[in-house]
Amino acid sequence: MSALEPVIGLEVHAQLATRTKLFCGCETRYGAPPNTQVCPICLGYPGALPVPNEQAIELAVRAGLALGCTIGRASRFDRKSYFYPDLPKGYQISQLDLPINEGGELRVGERVIGLERAHLEEDAAKSQHVGSQTRVDFNRGGVPLLEIVSKPELRSPAEAEAYLRELRLVLMTIGVNDGNLEEGSFRCDANISLRPVGSETFGTRVEIKNVNSFRFVRLALEAEIARQKVVLGSGGTVERETRSWDESSQKTVAMRGKEAAADYRYFPDPDLPAIALTDAQVEAWRDAMPELPAARHRRWLDAGLTDYDAGVLGQHPATAAYFDAVCAASAMSAKKVANFIQSEVLGHIATDGLDATLPVPADALAELLDLLDADTIHGQAAKKVFGLMVEEGLGAKALVQREGLAQETDEGAIEASVRAVLEAHPDQVAQYREGKTKMIGFFVGQVMKASKGKANPKAVKAIAERLLEPN
């Protein structure tokens, strides 16, 4: 039997970061008491009508533009029908034939992964099974989602994980999704099949539902590939079914078969006219598009950052923006700024969805880094000052002055200190002059000690070497 390769496609449900739901004015805030963010519309009351949320449409189009999709100029909402308590109208408003975004692609490392579509739909409510009871919280019902469907072009679990990380970062960078996996703002279903290497056809695919971390997606896919290889290797066939990831056993387990494929009876929602988008509107959104993570990454490499630096600083849009703002306000090289931020600042940045708490403003950090860059203070002093800035909220210059941390740069004063040290240590001077030039460290140390660390060590060394030259 020839070698098998995995064929993976991902369906991501990304919650659009709107204030209100897709078709009513209820808030989308996570964590409110059950059924407190509901109204006749999102509860499917008789006579209630959906009214599209313009912000959701804008965010969906912005996502489409960032992903290189074709923006549908007359896209349409359709009803997808099935009975379940989490679906108050008996149908979900989604998009079938004319999605708002068609096609598109996402660059993941060296590969470009094609997209089928990215369409708008409303979220279902959240069911909770308590004993024999099912409780339903409709706060989530009607929240806007963008379902982003990749082509089956991913070839490894690691690539799938990288795709998800990159997609999440793109959506966060353009402010479309808060990237919060724990709260379910970014959910993933994976389709996976195996086929002989070189084959153009697809094997029977299995869908793995609702895996709630990127690492688990990779692990679930790895486990599923292993399972399918065993099945196929022993001459069996893979069933078309839906499976879920079981963390405790590190395996996928069957959820339900798809033999009785549901007939969703899609048809255009007569309550909702086609979404009319003008070219001018779409172009305005395109023009307002911020720099995307991939372009930013390239720009940073050109500015001298390593791939690692750029990856670390780019992992959250707020950190990335912060780094760029500090660079813009400071004369220090980008690489040195990157080093300082990574070693000293990142540990102080707390992120919550799209929000981030920054320890000091970018221009305040730039002020500190400029003092360091101009040798006004040295590295150890800069770390100390940064700590004080975070604690006290004072500016770098004021703290350097208060703490007396400015380096002594007056050559005359330094020379006087050096002369005093040389005079106090005639034996060591003699040794130096006999060829033990390593003694220079001793003299510099003595001068630094005498100046309580304020003398510029480079200047001290140069002056001492000059004065120690044989007369």
Partner 1 sequence: MTIAEHIAAVAGGASVRERAEAALDRVGDDPHRAFLSLDRDWILADAEQLDARLAAGESLPLAGAPIAIKDNLCQRGTRTTCGSRLLEDWVAPYDATVVERLRAAGALLFGKTNLDEFAMGSSTENSAFGPTSNPRDPSRVPGGSSGGSAATVAAGHVAASLGSDTGGSVRQPAAYCGVHALKPTYGRVSRRGLVAFASSLDQVGPFGATVADIAQVYDVIAGPDAGDATSADQPAPSAMEVLGAGVAGLRIGVVRSCLEQADAPVAAAVEGAAERLESAGATLVDVGVEHLDLALSAYYLIAPAEAASNLSRFDGARYGLRVEGRDLAETYRATRARFGREVIRRIVLGTYALSEGYADEAYVRASRARTAICRAFDSVFEGVDLLLLPTAPTVAFALGEKTDDPVAMYAADVFTVPASLAGLPASSSPVGEVDGLPVGAQLIGRRFEDTTLVRAMEVLSS
Site of interaction with partner 1 (CB under 8 A) = 40, 43-52, 79, 81, 83, 85, 88-91, 134, 136, 263, 265-267, 270-273
Nearer to partner 1, 78 or 309 (CB): 78
Residue 469 contacts residue 435 (beta carbons within 8 Å): no
Report the nearest approach of partner 1 to the CB of residue 130 (Å): 15
DSSP state of 47: T
Nearer to partner 1, 90 or 441 (CB): 90
Nearer to partner 1, 96 or 450 (CB): 96
Nearer to partner 1, 77 or 443 (CB): 77
Report the nearest approach of partner 1 to the CB of residue 288 (Å): 26
Nearer to partner 1, 143 or 444 (CB): 143
Nearer to partner 1, 52 or 175 (CB): 52
Report the nearest approach of partner 1 to the CB of residue 134 (Å): 8
Report the nearest approach of partner 1 to the CB of residue 94 (Å): 13
216 phi and psi, to 5 degrees?
Answer: -65, -30
Amino acid at 149: V
The residue among 24, 21, 39 whose CA lies nearest residue 123 is: 21
Report the nearest approach of partner 1 to the CB of residue 265 (Å): 4
Report the nearest approach of partner 1 to the CB of residue 30 (Å): 22
Report the nearest approach of partner 1 to the CB of residue 48 (Å): 8
Nearer to partner 1, 90 or 404 (CB): 90
Q: How far apart are CA 133 and CA 57, in angstroms?
A: 36
